[in-house]
A and B are shown apart, each in its own frame.
Chain A
Amino acid sequence: MTETALDVHDLAKTYPNGVQAVAGISFEVRTGEILALLGPNGSGKTTTVKMVAGLVLPSRGSAEVMGLNVLKRRTDAMRHLGAVLEGARNVYWQLTARENLRYFGSLRGVPRRQLESRIDDLLTDVGLAAEQHRPVGQFSRGMQQKLAIAAALLHDPEVLLLDEPTLGLDVPAARALEENIARLASERGKAVLLTTHTMPLAERLAHRVLVIRRGETVAYDTTARLLAAHNSHADVTDILVSGELSPDLLSTLRNEFPHVETGQTNGSTQITWRDAQQAEILGLLNWLDGQNLAIANVGRRQPTLEEVFMTLTQEAH
């Protein structure tokens, strides 16, 4: 049985300098659910997360964690909320991993008798048990990020806010962290609000997606429904051309077919066209043939979340 763990209603923020960061957005995150909050740079994601955490005062609207208003009942609400903000800057680099967890555990009111075993469990969960006595300043960014998540989970909060948790991580570290986040929701029932620019991560992890642009909601639905909605009237054609195109030829291609996207890697050229009609694709193939370019592969596929995101945020221009 899921329940609403985080309930955000008409949250808006205009900063004192007049910049409107968030124009009034509403969403909820249920227990065991991951909601990905997506948007281009400056769209209001971090401001939203910080308003939910009570770190930025909203101009209007409210955020409730387990039914507790984060501003009016802050102390109680904070007992149910953990957050990892600003990349790896969440823990003391001069302290060891264990010392950090002891400090934040005391601060968050974890009973003394439970704290050490809780720290042991969390260090094992995030794979830092062997490194627990090393100063955090000697950790890699991925390890620091894992420790920050462990610190946010010390008091076993129902709601977890993760602001760009994989920023700056290499692929293996990002994948390991992704698995941790997935387990937190599926096995521990945490409600996770996640912001990220890594669309494949959001597509794999998120049960629901909220896309915002300039502080306004552009789309808010389950990930599956959002993809399906775009699948019904849009798909993507990928054409792989052997050899790299000269700059002049690329320029001509973009003039002739302004909706295509191109990329060149390993001696081949990838041409992607979203929402193209069959006749348009045939026209492009004929044009490529006319340039004596060898077409290695042509395929049609469903759009990814990244492509849906691009469509949504461009449509909103």
Chain B
Amino acid sequence: MVRLFEAEARRQARLIQAYAVEEIGQFLLFTVGFLVLSGLFEIIARGELASTVVLASAVGFLAWRTADGYMLRTVSTLADDAAWGTLEQLILSPISILGSMVIRGAIVLVFYTLEACLIGLVVFPLLGAWPTLSWAALIVFLIMQTGIWGVALVLAGLHMVYKQIASVTVAVSTALLFLTGALAPLDNVPLLASVARVLPLTVGIEMLRDLMVYRTTVPVNDVFWLVGTTAFYVAVGWSVLTWALRAAQRAGSLAHY
């Protein structure tokens, strides 16, 4: 099993190397993008610069950016394989497609977490504020990203059947930025706040802010809620991908793109 992670890590690293310019472009886009967005949101929301608020925004944004890259890459890695003709070769291996997605998900998450750390290393000194790192925050982060993996499985499954759903993936990701309170807490919009709690990032981001910015404990109910919604998204993703694989095999469309 370790070998499979190693092989996937090497493959992803090679792909990133092959598309290095695009990766650097993404890094710059999201770094500069956050600075622009956070400044604008500050002015709109409060009319003054408060470092705790901006730090909360940065933590939410970085959690979202990790999820955004993670979700897009997890879906595109399957879509690319269909386009390159390697998807059928993956399915011909003794590893199940779900097993492959677990391995890919883990490697891609490591990559985007590292990217988020790099963005943080640029952004936090500029803001003059640093978040507090803790094991609890890491665990919350991993649980919420696992929920995102579940969403990615749904989208990857839909791609297997319906093809060309990249725009849907981008739309979902963008919606998560604004609907989960990633940039600014949703406290002032109660209706949206309660609806947003079912989304995979919302509660996780709130917990990360409690742990990393406000340095408070997190409510136990929120922990159960986060674990529950994550389990739900993983279960749905797993089911959709399994169904999609059967549907694509029935339609003979695995290699279509």
Binding site for B on A (CB under 8 A): 13, 15-16, 21, 47, 50, 53-57, 75-76, 78-79, 81-83, 85-95, 99, 102-104, 106-109, 112, 135, 151
- Name the contact of A90 in the complex, choosing from B85, B93, B96, B246 (C-beta under 8 A): B85
Q: Whole-angstrom distance between the alpha carbons of A151 and B89 in the complex?
A: 9
Chain B contact residues, majority secondary structure: helix
Cβ-neighbour of A86 out of B14, B88, B246 (below 8 A): B88
Q: Are A89 and B85 in contact (CB under 8 A)?
A: yes
B215 interface contact, C-beta 8 A: no
Number of interface residues of B (CB under 8 A): 29
Given contacts A21-B252, A81-B92, 16 further A-B contacts (CB under 8 A): A53-B88, A56-B250, A82-B92, A85-B255, A86-B88, A88-B85, A89-B255, A92-B11, A94-B15, A99-B10, A102-B7, A103-B8, A106-B3, A107-B7, A107-B90, A108-B94
Instruction: Assess the B4–A56 pair: CB atoms within 8 A.
Output: no
Q: Determine if B132 is an interface residue (Cβ-Cβ < 8 Å).
A: no
Complex formed: what's the CA distance from A10 to B249 in Å?
A: 19
**B-side contacts of A99, CB under 8 Å:** 10-11, 14
Docked-complex contact B92 and A86, CB < 8 angstroms: no
Cross-interface CB contact of A55 among B10, B91, B93, cutoff 8 Å: B91
Chain A CB within 8 A of B177 CB: no
Task: Assess whether A86 is in contact with B3, with CB atoms less than 8 Å apart.
Answer: no
Tell me, in angstroms, the Cα distance from A108 to B92 when the chains sit together.
9
Residues of B within 8 A of A (CB): 3-4, 6-8, 10-11, 14-15, 18, 84-86, 88-96, 246, 249-252, 254-255
Q: Beyond A81-B92, A94-B15, is A103–B85 a contact (Cβ under 8 Å)?
A: no
A50–B88 alpha-carbon span in the complex (Å): 9
Chain A residues closer than 8 Å to B254, beta-carbon distance: 55-56
Task: Check A89 against B11 for contact (C-beta < 8 Å).
Answer: no
Q: A78-B92, A78-B93, A83-B92 are in contact. Are A57 and B4 (CB under 8 A)?
A: no
Are A107 and B4 in touch, CB under 8 angstroms?
yes
Q: Is the CB–CB distance between B252 and A56 below 8 Å?
A: yes
Contacts A57-B250, A90-B85; A108 near B14 (Cβ below 8 A): no
Q: Which of B7, B11, B251 is A16 in contact with, Cβ under 8 Å?
A: B251
Residues of A within 8 A of B251 (CB): 15-16
A106 touches B86 (CB 8 A): no
How far is A56 from B18 in the complex, measured between Cα atoms in Å? 32
Are A78 and B94 in touch, CB under 8 angstroms? yes
A82 CA to B18 CA, complexed, in Å: 28
Q: Give Cα distance in the complex from A104 to B3, angstroms.
A: 11
- Residues on the B chain within 8 Å of A104, using CB: 89, 93
Min Cβ gap B170→A in Å is: 23
A residues near B94, Cβ cutoff 8 Å: 75-76, 78-79, 108-109
A95 with B11: CB separation less than 8 A: yes
Residues of B contacting A21 in the complex (Cβ-Cβ under 8 angstroms): 252
Most buried by B among A47, A79, A88, A95: A95
Q: Which of A85, A102, A106, A135 has the most CB of B within 10 A?
A: A106
13 of the cross-chain contacts (CB-CB < 8 Å) are: A21-B252, A56-B254, A57-B246, A75-B96, A78-B94, A79-B94, A83-B88, A85-B89, A86-B255, A87-B85, A89-B84, A99-B14, A106-B7
Shortest Cβ distance from residue B169 to the other chain A in the assembled complex, whole angstroms: 21
Which chain B positions have C-beta within 8 A of A112?
3
- Complex Cα distance, B86 from A99, in Å, reads 14
Which residues of chain A come closer than 8 Å to B92, judged between CB atoms? 53-55, 78, 81-83
Taken together as a complex, chains A and B put the C-alpha atoms of A103 and B7 apart, in Å, by: 5
Chain B residues, CB < 8 A from A82: 92
9 interchain residue pairs of minimum CB distance? A89-B85, A106-B7, A94-B18, A107-B93, A56-B252, A57-B249, A86-B85, A75-B94, A106-B3
Q: How far is the CA of A76 from the CA of B250 in the complex (A)?
A: 21
- For B8, the chain A residues whose CB sits under 8 A away are 103
Most chain B beta-carbon neighbours within 10 Å: one of A75, A85, A92: A92
